[in-house]
């Protein structure tokens, strides 16, 4: 089974997934990293692990349709079965999602449907929520929506700082995302690979 990771930033979830694959805990081939920001640290992580990097900058294309068509062409070239969004800061169009229905995963730093959006950890912290967590879900046409695969809960401590809470959430992400990928690879969730 062939995997593509999409990321735009640091790439800590990318590294957690690579580690599990290299240790033989996930039986999948991570063939490409798709990144829309050439300066993102995740690119260095991929190159260090000798994983092919596909750079796709939105500004290099006339339209979002052209941008996504170019990415889809690369996915087809590599015969990608599963797409994992790991901090990819772009919304995929309904057309893209339809082509890979139940084969695109996302991870979100809250217990969805609560605290959707790009600033979930800060929103949770600012709202003084008693607990939060992490959600891995299949992507559909709505933002931070779609069938939930796994969730993990974190109690918010009275002495938590925003940074400390973020670290605990990310540590949980690094455990849950590989588990969700294993479920897909084992055929227990998602669409059957073409």
Return d(Cα 95, Cα 109) in angstroms, integer.
Answer: 26
Residue among 108, 137, 145, 170 flagged as catalytic: 108
| 186 DSSP 8-state letter | T
| Number of neighbouring beta carbons within 10 Å of residue 180 | 22
Burial 111-130 (b: 16+ CB within 10 A, else e): bbebbbeeebbebbbeeeee
**Cis preceding linkage at 113, omega within 30:** yes
Which residues have CB under 8 Å from 41's CB, separation 6+? Answer: 9, 10, 11
Indicate the Cα dihedral angle 7, 150, 171, 122, nearest 10°: 70
Is 137 annotated in the active site? no
Pairing of strands 131-138, 104-108: antiparallel
12-22 and 162-185 are packed helices; what angle lies between their axes, rounded to 10 degrees?
40
Active centre residues (catalytic): 108
């Amino acid at each position: 089974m062939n995997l593509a990771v999409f990321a735009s930033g640091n790439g800590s979830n990318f590294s957690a997934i690579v580690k599990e694959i290299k240790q033989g805990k996930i039986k999948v081939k991570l063939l490409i990293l798709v990144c829309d920001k050439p300066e993102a640290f995740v690119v260095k992580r991929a190159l260090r692990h000798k994983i092919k990097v596909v750079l796709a900058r939105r500004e290099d294309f006339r339209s979002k349709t052209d941008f996504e068509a170019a990415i889809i062409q690369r996915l087809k070239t590599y015969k990608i079965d599963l797409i994992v969004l790991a901090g990819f800061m772009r919304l995929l169009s309904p057309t893209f999602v339809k082509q890979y229905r139940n084969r695109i995963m996302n991870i979100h730093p809250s217990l969805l449907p609560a605290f959707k959006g790009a600033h979930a950890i800060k929103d949770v912290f600012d709202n003084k929520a008693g607990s939060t967590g992490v959600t891995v879900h299949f992507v559909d046409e709505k933002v931070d929506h779609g069938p939930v695969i796994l969730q993990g809960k974190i109690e918010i401590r009275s002495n938590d700082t925003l940074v400390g809470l973020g670290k605990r959430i990310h540590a949980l992400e690094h455990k849950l995302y590989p588990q969700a990928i294993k479920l897909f690879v084992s055929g227990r969730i998602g669409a059957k690979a073409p």
